[in-house]
Structure 1
Amino acid sequence: MAQLTEMVPPAAAGALLRAVFALPRPVKRLIAGAPVRRDGQELALDAQLLLLMSKLDHRSLAGGTPEEARAGIARAKEMLGRVPDRPVRTREVAIADAVTGRLYTPKGLAEGSPLLVYYHGGGWVIGDIDSHDTVCRYLAAHADVRVLSVGYRLAPEHPYPAAAEDALTAYEYAVENAADLGAGEAVAVGGDSAGGNLAAVVGIMADPAPDFALLIYPAVDLSTRRRSRDLFAEGFYLTDDDMTWFSDHYCPPERRGEPMASPLLAGDLSGFPPTYLVTAGFDPLRDEGEEFAKRLEEAGVPVALRRQEDLIHAFANMWSLGGRFQEAMSEATGALRTGLYAGPRRRS
């Protein structure tokens, strides 16, 4: 039997969601209930309200069949379909036989701008270029860059290392064809969650290395459980069960220690590009992301680590609701702009 919320068109559900978020803060607090505190952190009211409303759907991020999970994230995209005020032009790009792309160019951007190669999240199983369309539009419009969003192959139809191989293929394509894409010499990589994993893999393995890396709550170690995985195992959007489901579909246990699956375990990180890495405080992936930032720092890599301690996983996709979600994305976008326009290395 269909969920009640599935009977409501996504656009109408999205309008209702935005209307609730537009209510005065005291009213939103009455709806959300008492503040949620854990590990010395207080959950943002915006995040608490969204989690409460999402319970109406009774749907987990993962679980069931991949097709069912993919349908869920597609519906969520339709609900959060707002775009930035600055117009952004798009065109489809054929990167390779099995790898698709979409180029985002904000209005008024000069030729020769920096380029961000972006890998969407979704646990290597769900998500696609469309699910992260508004994320890429926001990054392009507010960081003043072109964005090449990559449609890599998904598991379980194409298990590890297919996604990582496609990520490298897309980056190499971007470097070789930067002029045709309207970009200059500066090429960055970025991604959220599983896409952050792929961006980290490219940062380690690509030659030439990217000029900058934007890692948004990345999954960087499939081999080990950390404290945050238990602290935020349930009730904060991405769950422990979700991560198990994603990992089991993507990579067999005996290969999870390989750097292409778990970039945190790479032996040498000294060649990694300058990085902005942001984690969410109420996220099972928090601790592994912060450990990766520490390893980069120890390797001599310029890295800015930012914990948005009051937010949950996937806040990048929620920027259209405003409030803390948009504030966090604005900060990440500012870091990307600064990292790419403040003197990227020259390519030979």
Structure 2
Amino acid sequence: MKDMSVQESLTRGVIHALGSAPERFQRLLAGRPIEIDGQRLTTEVQMALRLLGALPGASFEDLPLDRARAQIDSEARIFGARIEVASVEDILIPGSEREIPARVYRAHPDRPCAGTVVYFHGGGWVVGSLESGDSVCRFIAARSGLRVIAVDYRLAPEAPFPAGLTDAVDAFRWVRDVVPDAEDVEPWIAVAGDSAGGNLAAVTCLETRSDPSGGPDYQLLFFPVTDLARKHRSYELFAEGYFLTEKQMDWYRGHYLGAHGDAEDPRVSPLYAHELSGLPPAHVAVSGFDVLRDEGLAYADRLEAAGVPTTRQLEAGHIHAFVNATGVGKTSGIALARAVDTLVAALPDPARAAVSD
């Protein structure tokens, strides 16, 4: 992770101090409790929303792209936990169209890894980077003991669909094909991602299902985008005011699809895939106060109906992108830990026992 600016350090210090404050004090800052659709926004999250709204500057979709991307990276440094891992290495993955930048995290380089997680960051296929996904990748590596490889896929509008997906699939296939040659890493591989990254993880499973060498062994999807063709009921409930807005999703959609993308293409919207059988076991984690809530749950339902072992995690009091807010209070870290623990539970018995040790 890059060093923080003075302003970022000061803002981070204030926000993290408030995140550790007594709940009674947090409630004063958060305002009156918010309940929608039988869900109550947690005090920590409501306070964080007010603090985020108080930060200077326009909403990122109203900025030039370079500034929008810098702002997202800055917010990730402010709100994410700075978790130490044993090693972090930047690499280049040979892809079909270019060399793909990636970052490798290991919590325990002195002992074999029970498997690998290939991670795709969020950001609507337009913003986000290795920097914005740094804290969640560190968390996964430290919590699970697995090797994590974060993929810096191409972004729209410079590279609209299917460029980012091509990078994602190429990166997975490279990891899958080189792992058998690595003496210190078991050949178990999961794909994971948040938001647009969750979309790429899900579609990577679809695209590699028929590969002779096989697809992923597991998929961990955080509030994934599964349907760009229509807006589910959660869009009406949480259109604005809860971090990810309907306006931002429209902005993302336009950039990602470009002039030729089809929102009903299963490679764009996996909810429209004709057949989901034969995909790896899945854990789908969604936030209660999120425009993407219902399409994530709908995809989990379709996976289960197709016979795919599927578990769901509804964090009813959370907003979109809680995986990037582990440095504020406790609730985001607890929610992320619940999801990451499913990775360990999914490992083959000998590998799971080794991780537990």
TM-score by length of 1: 0.93
Closer, same or farther in 2 for the Cα pair 1:78/1:224, shift >3 Å?
same
**Alpha-carbon distance between aligned partners in 2 of 1:68 and 1:166, rounded to the nearest angstrom:** 24
**Alpha-carbon distance between aligned partners in 1 of 2:32 and 2:155, rounded to the nearest angstrom:** 40
Closer, same or farther in 2 for the Cα pair 1:143/1:322, shift >3 Å?
farther
Q: In structure 1, what is the equivalent of residue 355 of structure 2?
A: none
4+ residue segments displaced more than 6 Å: none
**Alpha-carbon distance between aligned partners in 2 of 1:65 and 1:263, rounded to the nearest angstrom:** 30
**Alpha-carbon distance between aligned partners in 1 of 2:110 and 2:329, rounded to the nearest angstrom:** 25
Structure 2 counterpart SS, 1:113: coil
Does residue 136 of structure 2 align to residue 130 of structure 1? no
Given candidates 327, 338, 343, the residue that maps to 2:334 is 327
Structure 2 counterpart SS, 1:183: coil
Q: In structure 2, what is the equivalent of residue 24 of structure 1?
A: 22
Structure 2 counterpart SS, 1:29: helix
Shift of 1:343: 7.5
**Alpha-carbon distance between aligned partners in 2 of 1:109 and 1:301, rounded to the nearest angstrom:** 35
State whether residues 119 and 192 of structure 2, in contact with CA within 8 Å, keep that contact through their aligned partners in structure 1. Answer: yes
Q: In structure 2, what is the equivalent of residue 193 of structure 1?
A: 195
Q: In structure 2, what is the equivalent of residue 296 of structure 1?
A: 303
Q: In structure 2, what is the equivalent of residue 73 of structure 1?
A: 72
TM-score by length of 2: 0.90
Quote the RMSD (CA, aligned, Å).
1.8
Structure 2 counterpart SS, 1:242: helix
**Alpha-carbon distance between aligned partners in 2 of 1:217 and 1:274, rounded to the nearest angstrom:** 16
**Alpha-carbon distance between aligned partners in 1 of 2:53 and 2:256, rounded to the nearest angstrom:** 27
State whether residues 61 and 237 of structure 1, in contact with CA within 8 Å, keep that contact through their aligned partners in structure 2. Answer: no
**Alpha-carbon distance between aligned partners in 2 of 1:343 and 1:162, rounded to the nearest angstrom:** 38
Structure 1 counterpart SS, 2:129: coil
Can you give the 5+ residue segments of structure 1 that lack an aligned partner in the other structure? 1-6
State whether residues 82 and 135 of structure 2, in contact with CA within 8 Å, keep that contact through their aligned partners in structure 1. Answer: yes
Shift of 1:304: 0.2
Shift of 1:33: 1.1
**Alpha-carbon distance between aligned partners in 2 of 1:234 and 1:266, rounded to the nearest angstrom:** 29
**Alpha-carbon distance between aligned partners in 2 of 1:91 and 1:9, rounded to the nearest angstrom:** 27
* Equivalent residue letter for 1:43: L
**Alpha-carbon distance between aligned partners in 1 of 2:134 and 2:173, rounded to the nearest angstrom:** 22
Q: In structure 2, what is the equivalent of residue 39 of structure 1?
A: 37
Closer, same or farther in 2 for the Cα pair 1:112/1:53, shift >3 Å?
closer
Shift of 1:260: 0.9
Q: In structure 1, what is the equivalent of residue 151 of structure 2?
A: 150
Shift of 1:297: 0.4
Q: In structure 1, what is the equivalent of residue 324 of structure 2?
A: 317
Q: In structure 1, what is the equivalent of residue 354 of structure 2?
A: none
Instruction: Work out the number of aligned pairs and report it.
Output: 338
Closer, same or farther in 2 for the Cα pair 1:217/1:342, shift >3 Å?
farther
Does residue 233 of structure 2 align to residue 231 of structure 1? no
Percent identity for Structure 1 against Structure 2 = 37
State whether residues 80 and 328 of structure 2, in contact with CA within 8 Å, keep that contact through their aligned partners in structure 1. Answer: no
Can you give the 5+ residue segments of structure 2 that lack an aligned partner in the other structure? 352-357
Does residue 58 of structure 2 align to residue 59 of structure 1? yes
**CA-to-aligned-CA distance 1:43-65 (integer Å, 9 cap, x gap):** 01111000011111253243332
Closer, same or farther in 2 for the Cα pair 1:162/1:254, shift >3 Å?
closer
Alignment of 1:94-105 (within 5 A): 94-96=92-94, 97-105=98-106
Shift of 1:81: 5.0
Structure 1 counterpart SS, 2:225: coil
**CA-to-aligned-CA distance 1:205-232 (integer Å, 9 cap, x gap):** 1121210000000001111111001110
* Equivalent residue letter for 2:219: A
